[in-house]
Structure 1
Amino acid sequence: MKKLLLVLSLSFSFVAAHAQYILIENFDTVPGIGWTRTNQSEPVGIGTWRQGVTTQFDAGAFNGDPTSFAMVNSASAQGNGTISNWLISPNISLENGDVIRFFSRVGLPVGQVAVTFPDRLEMRISTNGVATALPSGANSVGDFTTLCLTINEALTTTGYPTSWTLYEYTISGLSAPTDCKIALRYFVTNGGTQGTNSNIVGVDLFSIERTLGTEDFFKRHFTIFPNPANEVLTIKNNDNTVFNSVLVTDVNGRTIKQFSNKVSEMQINIADLASGVYCVKVISDQGSGTAKIVKN
């Protein structure tokens, strides 16, 4: 049976409170800025990680572009062999608690409801950052010794989803912020153009999210001054984060003042407040943050 290529897209959006994205890759181009590819399959074929296509599949739109995903297929190995085809992220500093997310699925020809050729994908991490040693050979993982997750480890025909499915992994075990690289490894034994396994997989919306405390979020995105203040507080953004609303609360959490304006800078008159400590909460599309202020 001829092995075909995958296509599909999906609309999906993340809403994160008290968090920031330190990497988002939509794969509008493949491999993407700073990403690298290496095909270590044996015997090596012509296949590589490349831009998604829409021919003959149940393609949908993702951010208006149906080809905004990465895909790799059985042509990674020539004939019958071991596929080990890598897509590797840029160097990025990771911390415990960071969450890596991506969507993946296998492809099916139009009208086909069951998988004929099993596929498998690994996500691995190297903690050597810019000095990461790349794999060399089908069974080598180089410095990518941390196996985070495997999709369809047993290579069954039911172990890899046929619709876009979310996978995630939370970073742990680091002694400090660490320069890392993350790899997606298309790894299929008895695969290739003539193998009994492997067809095609797609990956979309790869992201790394870092949870922040509300005060950390505020400090990263906003500035409030003067503090202490007598009459007027000014809040302004440090980047492109636009706030939707601002609340001033007392130490018991009761809302004293509330404003709902989609702006990047705001002045708040606090002359009527009694002397003491208050909290200012800013709510934006990217999350929410809180700062303590002193009214003289």
Structure 2
Amino acid sequence: MKKILLSFALLTSLYGSSQILSEGFEGETFPPTGWTTETQVATRIWRPTTDYSATTQATFNITGAKSAIIAWIVDPNEANLISPTFSLDGYADATFSFNAKIGYEYMVAPNANGDLNVQISDNGLDWTTLWVEEDQGPYEDYETLAISLDLADYVGQSGLQIRFQYLATDADTLSIDDILITGTLGVNESFANKFSTYPNPVDNSVSISNNYNILLTDVSITDVNGRTVKSLKVNNLSQVEMNVSDLNSGVYFMNINTDSGKAVKKFIKN
């Protein structure tokens, strides 16, 4: 039982949490590199809070010197702030978080005049809403809302984007900041299942291959104590063979780095 528990702990710790996308809107240019904006009303587009008065900045800055803000207008407006593309291929899990300041009285109740729809897409055309301010429950006007969303349904996908869609008529100003997407690499079973290790158990040499044209960059082997016992640099091959004849009998983990993510495969040495 102790060896089984140790093996599980090793698998879950081989790759820690990594940062996939981060934006705090502190740069000199807006929108930041890779981000795009769209608007229905030319004078009401997503901007940095520093484009507005000191009073507005004091109300809508969230962290640092700048946040991203979309200003109220009496006319109907759809204004979008769209992230760069990112990939969750090779990840076991992923979390998306951000902070927001949103008026309650003219966005939720008693005047439901607008929405901040936080959406995701895998093609830039069709968008699925992950969160809208009504989901938050009662809150005070312009208090900082800390939002955290699970992206488990999108693990394994690439070409993803996040969109902050302001859809309103005579509603209220709002701001967002501290966009962060993180994930844990390496224990994604669906990605790991794309690889075959054979023979298993093994006597002399073990091979790793796939039929998805996933190119390997390096492979290492660790024992149940987490010690690296072999490593191999690979020149973008889809199949690799490693000599393990000198290893002691036991359970080992093959840690596979590729151009599409990371995977872990277990094998037994006779």
- TM class by smaller structure: 0.5 to 0.7
Tell me the residue number matched to 1:120: 115
**Aligned AA (2:159):** D
Tell me the residue number matched to 1:205: 179
Tell me the residue number matched to 1:179: 159
Task: Give the conservation status (yes or no) of the 8 Å contact 1:152–1:159.
Answer: no
Tell me the residue number matched to 2:81: 87
Tell me the residue number matched to 1:46: 43
**Aligned AA (1:147):** T
Change (3 A) 1:60 1:169: closer
Task: Give the conservation status (yes or no) of the 8 Å contact 2:61–2:67.
Answer: no
Task: Give the conservation status (yes or no) of the 8 Å contact 2:101–2:176.
Answer: yes
Give identity over the alignment, percent: 22
Q: Report 1:188-227 matches (<5 A).
A: 188-191=168-171, 198-207=172-181, 209=183, 211-213=185-187
Q: How far did 1:57 drift?
A: 4.1
Tell me the residue number matched to 1:285: none
**For 1:188, what is the secondary structure of its paired residue?**
strand
- What is the TM-score when the length of structure 1 is the normalising length? 0.49
Task: Give the conservation status (yes or no) of the 8 Å contact 2:99–2:147.
Answer: yes
Q: How far did 1:187 drift?
A: 2.0
**Aligned AA (2:34):** G
Could you tell me which of 24, 27, 47 is aligned with 1:26? 24
Q: How far did 1:36 drift?
A: 0.5
Task: Give the conservation status (yes or no) of the 8 Å contact 1:18–1:213.
Answer: no
Tell me the residue number matched to 1:263: none
The Cα offsets for residues 119-147 of structure 1, whole Å up to 9 and x where unpaired, read as: 63111233324xx3xxxxxxxxxx33x22
Q: Distance in 2 between matches of 1:101 and 1:188?
A: 24
Is the aligned partner of 1:103 residue 2:101? no
- Count of matched residue positions in the alignment of Structure 1 and Structure 2: 206
Task: Give the conservation status (yes or no) of the 8 Å contact 2:59–2:142.
Answer: no
Tell me the residue number matched to 1:147: 129
Tell me the residue number matched to 1:235: none
Q: Distance in 2 between matches of 1:162 and 1:60?
A: 9
Q: How far did 1:203 drift?
A: 2.9
Q: Distance in 1 between matches of 2:264 and 2:24?
A: 31
- What is the TM-score when the length of structure 2 is the normalising length? 0.52
The Cα offsets for residues 162-187 of structure 1, whole Å up to 9 and x where unpaired, read as: 1241231425389x735343211112
Q: Distance in 2 between matches of 1:34 and 1:56?
A: 27
Moved more, 82-91 or 156-165: 156-165
Tell me the residue number matched to 1:56: 58
Q: Distance in 1 between matches of 2:141 and 2:150?
A: 17
Q: Distance in 2 between matches of 1:68 and 1:228?
A: 60
Tell me the residue number matched to 1:69: 67
Task: Give the conservation status (yes or no) of the 8 Å contact 2:67–2:175.
Answer: no
The Cα offsets for residues 45-85 of structure 1, whole Å up to 9 and x where unpaired, read as: 51321224474348675xxxx135322221xx3xx222311
Task: Give the conservation status (yes or no) of the 8 Å contact 2:46–2:80.
Answer: yes
Q: How far did 1:248 drift?
A: 4.8
Q: Distance in 2 between matches of 1:94 and 1:274?
A: 36
Change (3 A) 1:150 1:159: farther
Is the aligned partner of 1:162 residue 2:143? yes
